[in-house]
Structure 1
Amino acid sequence: MSKFYTEISKYYDYIFPTGKAQLQLIKKIVGEAPKNILDVACGSGGYAKSLNDSGHQVTAIDLDQEMVQALKARDTGIDARVLNMLDIEVLNKTFDLIFCIGNSVVHLNNNEEIYEFLKSCKNSLKENGHLLIQIVNYDRVLAQDVKQLPTIKNEDVPLVFERYYDYWPEQHKINFRTILRVNENVLENSVLLHPIKSTEFVGLLEELGFQDIQLYGSFNQEAYDPMVSFPLIMVAKK
């Protein structure tokens, strides 16, 4: 895990606060508690804690040890672990819902790794269990050569989080550069992302036998528009 993510862990909730629309959709999909839920790339665990508080049995994984330790201290009722998303089958559990939001899946290297992740998810879901994935809409990013995502500001800290995209066609990668400004401190980082398109993602889900695949352009379940929507949200059933 990049040192950058460890350094920003103390600011994570200010940059990415737990969203009401995200929680509402997660709860709508999974149904009445108690259900077994896996939060993949959980960050500081805001969603995991809210779901655990609602009576669900929550497992949460992330690569950043600082964030996982903070979540364990925050809520001992959550099974929080440092684990790669490609290794979820070592948990030896089955879930009613697996979700991975926050554009985390595209940190995998290619479609083959994403396929392996989705395969592990399917193997770890109960019959009729659901998978929820959210990434940036790379249909729009690639077609319109998007160079920057909206800057995140939080005046309470205060902080500014700038996000820049630079597409490298030869490698089919996006160089994702971030600048976090907190008072007089500046933290910079860059990481390569794999910009998978919606048709490719749906194709992988279909190849694995997922059913009832739904695409949304927001967590409020607005229709997905490849050239307009900011996120791509996918819900599929085993």
Structure 2
Amino acid sequence: MPFYSEFSKNYDKIFPLNSKKLSLLDNIFKDLATTRNSIHLLDIGCGTGNYALALAKLGYQLEAVDLDFEMIALAKAKAATEDSKDLKLRFHNLNMLALDKEFKPGSFQGAYIIGNVLVHLTESEIKQFLKITADLLVKDAKLFIQIVNYDRILDLNLAGLPTIYSNDNSLYFTRNYEYQKEKNTIFFETKLIDNLTDNLLFQNKVALYPLRQQELMANLKEAGFKVLASYGSSKGTPYKKLSSVPLIISARKTT
């Protein structure tokens, strides 16, 4: 995805680590063993590695993958710094549909895919991905998924998501949706703009699959998972179909 390669240098300005999301991830996974350092997690679509690094610093063992080479290069550079070099963390430039080519069955006690990464796959690929991921997890392992709440987007006919401004206010990131009902596809147009000059820095349009909560839950059940909870924010508040901006699901592998 060329856009993500170009966008990678500004990624952390637009999407800095969210401490509440990190706490939610930790609370989901930390009870999988008596100590975090014996829990092996898989980060799928890791971007520049912020969450993988933060979880590794808490003691978890991490394997983190992303399709984009530039994202992985930035993540590896962060992990090479003095305070990170002894962490149990490895980054891989890898397609999420090829996880089983890199990792053995039953390699992980937990996995997570956040940042709306999942819906870059097609309807059939999402089912394939969940089955691949299930095979990589041990029984009773947990899976954490965060996507945009497409029930809200579709049912309220929303044209996009709120504009994001960088913490230093130097950049802003617009996110607009165009839903094509006959294809059941959302075309997601994004623009990164210099807030001082109003110059367009990057622009991209990508097709996303608008995955609703009930469909995702059915797909998880088919792949061998039991849904534990649905959240409507990184704070862990309950999911509400027409008001929650994200859809966050935690599930346990039952087979």
Give the TM interval when normalised to the shorter protein. over 0.9
Which string of whole-angstrom CA distances, capped at 9 and with x for unpartnered residues, describes residues 82-141 of structure 1? 11111111222411110000011000022x111111111111112211000000011111
Determine if the alignment matches structure 1 residue 204 to structure 2 residue 219.
yes
User: Could you tell me which residue of structure 1 aligns to residue 100 of structure 2?
Assistant: 89
Structure 1: 4+ residue segments shifted above 2 A: 182-185
User: Could you tell me which residue of structure 1 aligns to residue 235 of structure 2?
Assistant: 220
**Distance (Å, rounded) in 1 between the aligned partners of 2:127 and 2:228:** 16
> 1:155 Cα shift?
4.9
**Distance (Å, rounded) in 1 between the aligned partners of 2:108 and 2:169:** 37
Find 1:46's aligned residue among 50, 55, 59: 50
CA RMSD in angstroms comes to 1.3
Q: How does 1:145-156 map to 2 (within 5 A)?
A: 145-156=157-168
Which string of whole-angstrom CA distances, capped at 9 and with x for unpartnered residues, describes residues 15-71 of structure 1? 101111111111111114111111110010100111111121111111110110111
After TM superposition, the score normalised by the length of structure 2 is: 0.89
User: Could you tell me which residue of structure 2 aligns to residue 55 of structure 1?
Assistant: 59
| Equivalent residue letter for 2:251 | A
User: Could you tell me which residue of structure 1 aligns to residue 84 of structure 2?
Assistant: none
User: Could you tell me which residue of structure 1 aligns to residue 28 of structure 2?
Assistant: 29
Determine if the alignment matches structure 1 residue 107 to structure 2 residue 120.
yes
SS at match of 1:178: strand
**Distance (Å, rounded) in 2 between the aligned partners of 1:13 and 1:176:** 20
Task: Decide whether the 8 Å contact of 2:188 with 2:206 is kept in 1.
Answer: yes
SS at match of 2:216: helix
**Distance (Å, rounded) in 1 between the aligned partners of 2:227 and 2:23:** 20
SS at match of 2:46: coil
SS at match of 1:68: helix
| Equivalent residue letter for 1:209 | G
Unmatched tracts of structure 1, length 5 or more: none
> 1:4 Cα shift?
1.3
User: Could you tell me which residue of structure 2 aligns to residue 195 of structure 1?
Assistant: 210
SS at match of 1:234: strand
Distance change >3 Å, CA 212–CA 179, structure 1 → 2: closer
| Equivalent residue letter for 1:28 | N
> 1:211 Cα shift?
1.8
**Distance (Å, rounded) in 2 between the aligned partners of 1:40 and 1:168:** 28
User: Could you tell me which residue of structure 2 aligns to residue 18 of structure 1?
Assistant: 17
- Once structures 1 and 2 are overlaid, which stretch shifts more, 176-185 or 157-166? 176-185
**Distance (Å, rounded) in 1 between the aligned partners of 2:184 and 2:227:** 30
SS at match of 1:206: helix
> 1:213 Cα shift?
3.1
**Distance (Å, rounded) in 1 between the aligned partners of 2:103 and 2:210:** 30
- Counting aligned pairs with the same residue, the percent is 40
**Distance (Å, rounded) in 2 between the aligned partners of 1:218 and 1:66:** 29
Task: Decide whether the 8 Å contact of 2:220 with 2:227 is kept in 1.
Answer: no
Determine if the alignment matches structure 1 residue 75 to structure 2 residue 96.
no
Determine if the alignment matches structure 1 residue 160 to structure 2 residue 175.
no
SS at match of 2:75: helix
**Distance (Å, rounded) in 1 between the aligned partners of 2:131 and 2:167:** 41
